[in-house]
Structure 1
Amino acid sequence: MLRSIIQTSLSSQCLVMLVLNSTDTQPLTFLLTGIPGLRVAQVWASIPFCLLYAIALSGNGMILLAVLREKRLHEPMYYFLSMLSATDLSLSLCTLSTTLGVFWFEARKINLNACIAQMFFLHGFTFMESGVLLAMAWDRFVAICDPLRYTTILTNARIAQIGVSMLMRNVAVMLPVVLFVKRLSFCGSTVLSHSYCYHVDLIQLSCTDNRINSILGLFALFSTTGFDCPCILLSYVLIVRSVLSITSSEGRQKTFNTCISHLSAVAIFYIPLISLSLIHRYGHSAPPFVHTIMANIFLLIPPVLNPVIYSVRTKQIQKAIAKVILQKQLQI
């Protein structure tokens, strides 16, 4: 199951590399930005960011290792959790090098191809996380509303198909975005507003018409998170209706408790996303460093908090992680 997902992911990476190398243009260099107005204190400001990256990488890596090693966790719910951890891990790695490079070494330069590649994977894994959260909502819906058919509906083959289809969806919506960014001309300022390449930020620096790019970006957003969010809400409306039909109050509470971790993951993904969108649209009077900090928080909150939430709320994950840590200590 995981092999087919990994093969699809690798093929999508190769496709992006072919697109980036398809045209021979003069290398164009952009300048990344750390925290505006706090350039002197950037090294100190990087310490909390570094700690957050360390927590995100170690936490998600530990959950992945626990699910892979512990056979008792080879169930649909934990397969989806491993997909979420793999997505969060990849999302953190997308921005790790440029963010810490800017903060620590003032390494602000990035060429166009590297910028587009980072943008592709950054947005792609963000959309992937939205898709995984939708798949996890469907998992909770089937487990609560149709428990007798749970194992027959969520087979290993179907879970693999879901993972592959999410990867293919992300490639399908992001490839046109990449292709049309390659067609833009940049003749003015090349200073980006963040420590990583963000699609809206990049196309605003173009000196040519970028309306098609804006339309493609909005289409990519609405066809992924714009589709997933209402579907998640719908699944929980049906779940709540099913839970309310349970006569025992203890049974209702026990059933709904199985959704708390997923609801928390949905909240920490969509609330920062909506907040960042509102700040970009209406927060023009806010200091520039507010935009930068919010953008970095949006990328770091889900990868940092998701492992913490699932480790605290799920006893099986706690036991599996403790077992992995104990085995490592015995090996040492």
Structure 2
Amino acid sequence: MRKLYFLLPGTTRSFYCGGLFAELNTLALAQQVCDAAVVTYRQREDDHLFLEDVLQEPELSRYIFVVSWGFDVPKLLKKLSGCHVIYHAHSSGYGFSLPPQVPILSVSRNTMGYWGARSQNSLLYWLPNQLPATVQNQNLERDIDILVQARKSSEYVSQQLVPALQKRFNVVVIDSFVDDLMALFNRAKIYLYDSAEYWTQYRLTEGFGLPPMEALACGCQVFSSVNHALSDFLDPGENCYKIAGYATGYDVQRIANVLAHWQPSNLSDSFFAPYREAQLVPRLGSILEELNQFFDYCQQHPADIPSLTRQRRLYLFYKRVRSKLEKIRK
């Protein structure tokens, strides 16, 4: 198999975010299948290769470059022209298009559907983010009634719901990076997550929504928005509660009722199995085998399927209108 290079702007604390950690987890999975490494492109780091140096190497066809940082993808694709590239798609809505020689690895079915409609000639695969085996209910004492992360929370949660809940319950609001979020999930009874407003502001989508899944795995009852990729695994009435339900008072009433009769979330292992390493590594292995065959083909043959460009959409529209008019005339 070709060596994989995961392109990241950097790996230091200034780049810490869910997307970075997801890429590093995927790198660790890939290293169980083939040779894989991080390559940075914004800052040089002692422990990693730098993109400008890698591009000076001969026979770049020996490598597959994995791009993922949404806003940087168009620029990276230009720089990697002629190379084998995979787009590891998290959030959608960045507005760029992809050529058919760039396969897409989607972390959610929601994102896969977006690219299935937007880039219908590209190979498309589903590889969800990993839920590590260590993320589980540790059966600790639950001394936090309600846990909230300030980042991505809606104004409704921060300015209306949380103040109302603080009058009655022990509410912990996280407003900075936490090294061990799983420890807090294991101390909390309820986790609140409402990201719909956040992503709407940026005209992007929730790429995966790992915190609610982690909270569920740690035994929390989850009140969450169900936007975008969250709908992949959240099922209100079955494994979670839909937050922002009509009125603040109604949310408070439902949360108070859950706390009064609190039981840990007790989802089966099979629910989390598709996101665990045991299933992800074989899935990634089969995907990479197919992609290596695809890139072998690309080196010998050009693409010949029409892409759904703006011009082609206009052509299909006028073709349909003309066909209807011809039927009317007959």
Same fold (TM over 0.5): no
What is the TM-score when the length of structure 2 is the normalising length?
0.27
Structure with higher RCO (Cα < 8 A, 6+ apart): 1
Bigger CA radius of gyration: 2
User: Would you tell me which structure has more strand in proportion to its own residues?
Assistant: 2
Q: Larger helix proportion, structure 1 or 2?
A: 1
